[in-house]
Amino acid sequence: MTKVHQQFVVVGLSGGVDSAVAALLMQNQGYRVEALFMQNWQEESGANCSASQDLKDAQHVCDVLKIKLHIVNFSVKYWNNVFQYFLDEYAAGRTPNPDVLCNKEIKFRAFLDHAKSLGADFIATGHYARRITIGGRELLLKGLDKNKDQSYFLYLLNQEQLASSLFPLGELTKQQVREIAENAAFPNYAKKDSTGICFIGERKFKEFLSEYLLARPGDIITADGQVLGRHDGLMFYTLGQRKGIGVGGQKSSQEAPWYVAIKDLKNNALIITQNKEDPSLMAQKLTCNQLHWISNQEPEFPFECHAKIRYRQQDQRCVITQPNDSKEARVDFFAPQWAITPGQSIVFYRQEECLGGGIITQ
């Protein structure tokens, strides 16, 4: 790759191996590199949080690369623009995807704005995605590592955000990234990938959510009305969920796993089934709103493309239609889909290009 000299890039450094290698690659490509560590969640002392270790790991990487580390607290913006929405969606019985909103509001807005205030030409992150410019238009492409492609979580980015963003890992596999980190003597080269809620980390989810929302226990029932137990609150369950329902070993049922089929908000009941192909779990169409198109131009409807209704799902062929003057769109799939979940994102693709997406409503 041709070296670019003296352009200034600020790398979002999380303490993980991906962002560490992103910083190294930017440096190797000739950029002037500094790093920024975001503190987005206020913790009480003694809380189960890895943020302090993440900061130490980020500083170690900067020491190896001999670059400056900025530490910035975006916790107020995170609460107002990401976490409050997260709570509101769960309170309404939906299952939100905070990573998508976190990218839009924090990593590619608050972080980008701060980097620009430092004089940066670009920001860089450890996302497995690619960006190319064709005819003055920014395209977001899938990462080449299909198991790690993160374009699904980036569909809310706009042209301006993409034009200022670099994704140095887009053409690498996770294994290659770890090997680069090990060769660079990064102490976090074998660190496991972070999971859990964006910037909040791994938690006992039920306990964590209970700190902020009032749970309403109710009955767990079968489709024919047989009561099998009690649920702790509908907000703790998602459609298609198999583990953690707590009704195993029923004498009157076969030894097959149970699945969450319906969250009956009106009656505060959790309806479950042992048939993974139950009609209540299968659907060939959905509606979605809050549509966003990365190109800033919506297509002509009806529009045929592919879509994912969850991360790492295989692309599914579909047709999008949008009734006149409607803020909602309808998506018809060519094949039935399993456990379409309100509150989650549907993301649209044309081959390798991520086109945009919306929030599933029904």
Question: Do 106 and 172 fall into the same domain?
Answer: yes
Structure tokens at 24: 């190294």
pLDDT > 70? residue 218: yes
Question: Do 356 and 289 fall into the same domain?
Answer: yes
Select which of 198, 305, 318, 354 is catalytic: 198
Q: How many CB atoms lie within 10 A of CB 152?
A: 23
What letters, b where the CB count within 10 A reaches 16 and e where it falls short, cover 94-104? bbbbbbbbbbb
Question: Do 288 and 149 fall into the same domain?
Answer: no
Confidence grade of residue 3 (pLDDT, cut at 50, 70, 90) = low
For residue 310, what pLDDT is reported?
Answer: 95
Whether residue 288 lies in the annotated active site = no
Question: Do 44 and 162 fall into the same domain?
Answer: yes
Query: What gap in Å lies between CA 123 and CA 10, rounded to an integer?
Result: 5
Q: Find the mean pLDDT for residues 342-362.
A: 96
> pTM for the whole thing?
0.91
**Domain stops at, among 141, 166, 183:** 183
For residue 157, what pLDDT is reported?
Answer: 97
CATH number at residue 319: 2.40.30.10
For residue 47, what pLDDT is reported?
Answer: 45
Question: Do 305 and 266 fall into the same domain?
Answer: no
- Average model confidence (pLDDT) across the chain: 90
C-alpha 358, offset from chain centre: 13
167 located within any domain: yes
Structurally, the chain folds into a number of domains equal to 3
For residue 48, what pLDDT is reported?
Answer: 45
Question: Do 14 and 139 fall into the same domain?
Answer: yes
Among 269, 198, 178, 193, which Cα is nearest to 228's? 269
323 located within any domain: yes
Question: Do 171 and 237 fall into the same domain?
Answer: no
Confidence grade of residue 215 (pLDDT, cut at 50, 70, 90) = confident
Within 13 Å and on the Cβ side, how many CA atoms surround 70? Answer: 18
Question: Do 50 and 176 fall into the same domain?
Answer: yes
Question: Do 285 and 258 fall into the same domain?
Answer: no
For residue 98, what pLDDT is reported?
Answer: 87
Query: What gap in Å lies between CA 74 and CA 76, rounded to an integer?
Result: 6
155-179, pLDDT tens digit by residue?
Answer: 999 999 999 999 999 999 999 999 9
Give the C-alpha distances (Å, rounded to integers) separating 97 from 27, 46, 238, 310, 359: 33, 27, 12, 10, 9
69-121, pLDDT tens digit by residue?
Answer: 999 999 999 889 988 998 999 888 899 998 999 999 999 999 999 999 999 99
Select which of 49, 62, 102, 354 is catalytic: 102
Query: What gap in Å lies between CA 173 and CA 156, rounded to an integer?
Result: 24
Side chain identity, residue 118? L
Give the C-alpha distances (Å, rounded to integers) separating 146 from 25, 91, 210, 252, 350: 21, 34, 35, 43, 15
Question: Do 334 and 291 fall into the same domain?
Answer: yes
As beta bridge partners, residue 142 has: 129
Q: Can you tell me which residue has the tokens 């703790």?
A: 236
Query: What gap in Å lies between CA 15 and CA 54, rounded to an integer?
Result: 4
Q: List, in order, residues 6 or more apart from 90 with CB less than 8 Å away.
A: 96, 209, 213, 235
Confidence grade of residue 335 (pLDDT, cut at 50, 70, 90) = very high
Domain that holds residue 230: 216-276
For residue 4, what pLDDT is reported?
Answer: 47
CATH number at residue 94: 3.40.50.620
Q: Find the mean pLDDT for residues 173-201.
A: 81
Q: How many CB atoms lie within 10 A of CB 331?
A: 25
Whether residue 198 lies in the annotated active site = yes
